[in-house]
């Protein structure tokens, strides 16, 4: 009776290539979303501040029309 020991090694190489254009695009989209969120938060804070100073939404609209028409 003869026994044979066989060992097989398998090597797998995976190469991942990410283009520079994809990375730049991802950075640009992230920057635009961040700036958009900051502008949106700033506008919301300004609206709330205007409501507080004017004394409510009706007074704010009345003041805005007065400033727009010059009356």
| Cα separation, 42 vs 44, whole angstroms | 5
User: Is 9 inside a domain boundary?
Assistant: no
- Does residue 60 contact residue 50 with C-beta atoms inside 8 Å? yes
Evaluate whether residue 15 is within a structural domain. no
CA distances from residue 48 to 22, 25, 34, 37, 40 in whole angstroms, order as listed: 39, 35, 21, 17, 12
Q: What is the mean pLDDT of residues 26-39?
A: 96
Confidence of residue 16 (pLDDT cuts 50, 70, 90): low
Q: How many domains does the chain have?
A: 1
Whether 12 has a pLDDT exceeding 80, the answer reads no
Whether the per-residue pLDDT at 46 is higher than 90: the answer is yes
Domain that residue 33 falls in? 25-69
- Please answer whether residues 54 and 63 qualify as being in contact, where contact means their C-beta atoms are separated by less than 8 angstroms: yes
């Amino acid at each position: 009776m003869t026994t044979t020991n066989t060992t097989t090694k398998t090597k797998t190489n995976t190469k991942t290539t990410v283009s520079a254009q994809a990375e730049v695009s991802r950075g640009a989209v992230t920057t635009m979303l961040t700036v958009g969120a900051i502008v949106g938060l700033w506008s919301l804070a300004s609206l709330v501040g205007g409501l507080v100073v004017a004394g409510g939404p009706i007074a704010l609209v009345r003041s805005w029309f007065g400033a727009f028409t010059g009356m």
